[in-house]
């Protein structure tokens, strides 16, 4: 019996050591495949990774959970850059934004992003957020005059905005405990097979097909790095109370708001979030895309471009 326990203990130690080494090796490989492609902008207690394209009125693009600024498709960014100065940002805990480990709430994220926007010279941007990025965008607009840069308009794509269900997969379980988040981050970095990544991406796009180059081009594997995995789990852990507070504040929004949502979104249900939020936000315009899932910025980018154009027309020249 004692020998069996000793052997089991050695096996656990060996597995832990192998996992640690493998996690570091995998992270190094991921970083080599997907290096930073923008500028590292100093903010209080960290840096925000940002990429700018084009000239004109400022538009900020904020990605969702388990993603990074590469998530926005090149065709969409290139088209917007013809008319706007487009700034893509990695949200705190994601991509190459770093040093902001304790920032989890949407308003705290917005504060750091506003500091970066100020450093980059942005003024009254149209802030476009997808999924969790939409939550942060809405919170940014609700932060008031305390921030150096405030949104002039919002375009919220498939955003969690109400205290309703959101499909979070395994993160819902892992988010409950700091210890679980820490241990699972090593396991995720070291042992997540590609087929699991493909499955998760497929769930996000469902019921629509995933673009053939999405997984490779988007740098989705950056989310498997230990720090990013823990940050996403931490942000997920507070999502429910955050959405309850956000919904209570949505009627205070007094700027142009465009809501875009796929009718068949399985991650953030359209009716429970955007349809319900549209009833609370005065003057909000809701566009429901029939048959679309959670990724309309990929599957119907023209709808996003048109929403941004409408928002721009609603603002002073």
Phi then psi dihedrals of residue 285, to 5 deg: -110, 125
For the segment 85-143, what is each residue's pLDDT rounded down to a tens digit?
999 999 999 999 998 877 889 999 999 999 999 999 999 999 999 999 999 999 999 99
Rounded to two decimals, the pTM is 0.95
Other Cβ atoms closer than 10 A to 263: 14
Number of domains in the chain: 1
Closest CA to 166 of 131, 214, 126, 218: 131
Q: HSE on the CB side for 29, CA within 13 Å? A: 10
More confident residue, 17 or 76: 76
CATH code, domain carrying 87: 3.40.50.1820
Residue reference for tokens 């394209």? 53
Supply the range of the domain harboring residue 210.
33-313
Which among 162, 27, 48, 157 has a CA at the least distance from the CA of 103?
48
pLDDT in tens, 215-263: 889 999 999 999 999 999 889 888 999 999 999 999 999 999 999 999 9
CA distance 187 to 185: 5
Nearest Cα neighbor of 26 from 157, 132, 149, 185 is: 185
DSSP secondary structure letters along the chain:
-HHHHHHHHHHHHHHHHHHHHHHHHHHHHHHHHS---SEEEEETTEEEEEEEE--SEEEEEE--TT--GGGS-HHHHHHHTTTEEEEEEPPTTSTT-BS-TT--SHHHHHHHHHHHHHHTT--SPEEEEETHHHHHHHHHHTSGGGSSS--SEEEEES---SSS----TTHHHHTT-HHHHHHHHHHHHHH--HHHHHHHHHHHHTTSPPPTTHHHHHTGGGGGSHHHHHHHHHHHHTHHHHHHHHHHHGGG--S-EEEEEETT-SSS-TIIIIIHHHTTSTT-EEEEETT--S-HHHH-HHHHHHHHHHHHHTS--
For β-strands 153-157 and 126-130, DSSP reports them as parallel
**Residue pLDDT, tens place only, 261-312:** 999 999 999 999 999 999 999 999 999 999 999 999 999 999 999 999 999 9
**Residue at 20 is within a domain:** no
Block residue for tokens 């997920």? 236
In angstroms, rounded to a whole number, what is the distance separating the alpha carbons of residues 185 and 23? Answer: 9
Confidence of residue 75 (pLDDT cuts 50, 70, 90): very high
Residue from 65, 14, 59, 89 nearest 175 by CA: 65
User: pLDDT at position 72, please?
Assistant: 98
Conformational region of residue 54, where left means phi above 0, alpha means psi within -120 to 50, and beta covers everything else:
left
Provide the pLDDT for residue 171: 62
CA atoms within a 13 Å half-sphere pointing along the CA-CB vector of 99:
11
pLDDT digits (tens, 9 = 90+) for 43-66: 998 999 999 999 999 999 999 999
Residues 6+ apart with CB under 8 A from 61: 69, 72, 77, 86, 87, 88, 89, 128, 129, 130, 133
Residue 17 lies in a domain: no
């Amino acid at each position: 019996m004692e020998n069996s326990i000793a052997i089991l203990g050695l096996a656990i130690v060996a597995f832990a050591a192998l996992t640690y080494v493998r996690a570091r090796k995998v992270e190094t490989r991921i970083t080599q495949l997907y290096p930073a492609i923008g500028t590292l902008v100093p903010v209080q207690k960290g840096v925000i990774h940002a990429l700018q394209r084009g000239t004109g009125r400022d538009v900020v693009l904020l990605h969702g959970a388990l993603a990074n600024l590469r998530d926005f498709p090149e065709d969409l960014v290139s088209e917007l850059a013809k008319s706007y100065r487009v700034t893509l940002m990695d949200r705190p805990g994601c991509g190459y934004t770093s040093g902001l480990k304790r920032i989890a709430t949407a308003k705290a994220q917005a504060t750091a992003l506003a500091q970066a926007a100020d450093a980059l010279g942005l003024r009254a941007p149209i802030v476009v957020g997808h999924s969790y990025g939409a939550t942060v965008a809405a919170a940014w607009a609700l932060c008031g005059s305390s921030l150096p840069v405030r949104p002039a308009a919002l375009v919220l794509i498939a955003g969690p905005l109400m205290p309703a269900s959101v499909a979070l997969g395994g993160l819902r379980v892992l988010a409950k405990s700091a210890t679980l988040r820490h241990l699972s981050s090593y396991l995720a970095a070291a042992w997540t097979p590609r087929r699991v990544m493909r499955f998760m991406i497929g769930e996000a796009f469902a019921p629509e097909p995933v673009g053939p180059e999405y997984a490779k081009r988007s740098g989705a594997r950056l989310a498997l790095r230990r720090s990013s995995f823990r940050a996403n789990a931490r942000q997920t852990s507070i999502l429910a109370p955050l959405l309850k507070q956000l919904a209570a504040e949505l009627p205070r929004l007094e700027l142009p708001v465009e809501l875009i949502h796929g009718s068949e979104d399985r991650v953030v249900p359209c009716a429970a979030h955007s349809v319900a939020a549209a009833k609370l936000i005065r003057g909000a315009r809701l566009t429901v895309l029939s048959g679309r899932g959670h990724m309309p910025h990929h599957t119907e980018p023209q709808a996003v471009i048109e929403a941004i154009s409408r928002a721009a027309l609603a603002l002073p020249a």
